[in-house]
C-alpha cells in the first residue's frame, strides 16, 4: 500500500513540478509519520 502511494505521488509530482521530484518522493512518508506514527494502518491493541 505504501509503495503505491509513494509511486503515484512521485509520478504525478514529477510531471507537475520536476524540480521538486525528491520532495514528492519523501513527502508522503513524512506526512503519514506525522499524523500516524504507527503507519498507515496502525497497530491493533
Q: Are 10 and 21 spatial neighbours (Cβ–Cβ below 8 Å)? A: yes
- Mean pLDDT on 17-28: 85
User: Which three three-digit cell numbers place residue 17?
Assistant: 513540478
Q: Given this model, what pLDDT does residue 30 score?
A: 86
Q: What is the pLDDT of residue 45?
A: 58
Confidence band (pLDDT; 50, 70, 90) for 29?
confident
The whole-number average pLDDT for the span 19-44 is 80
Alpha carbons 20 and 43: distance in angstroms, whole number: 32
- Residue 11 lies inside a defined structural domain of this protein: yes
Residue 31 within any structural domain of the chain: yes
Verdict on whether the full-model pTM lies above 0.75 = no
The total number of structural domains in the chain stands at 1
Strands (E), 1-45: none
Considering the domain boundaries, does residue 12 fall inside one?
yes
Per-residue pLDDT of 2-14, as tens digits, reads 788 888 888 888 8
Residue 15 in any domain: the answer is yes
Amino acid at each position: 500500500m505504501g509503495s503505491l502511494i509513494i509511486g503515484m505521488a512521485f509520478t504525478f509530482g514529477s510531471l507537475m513540478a520536476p524540480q521538486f521530484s525528491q520532495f514528492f518522493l519523501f513527502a508522503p512518508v513524512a506526512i503519514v509519520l506525522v499524523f500516524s506514527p504507527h503507519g498507515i494502518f496502525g497497530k491493533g491493541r
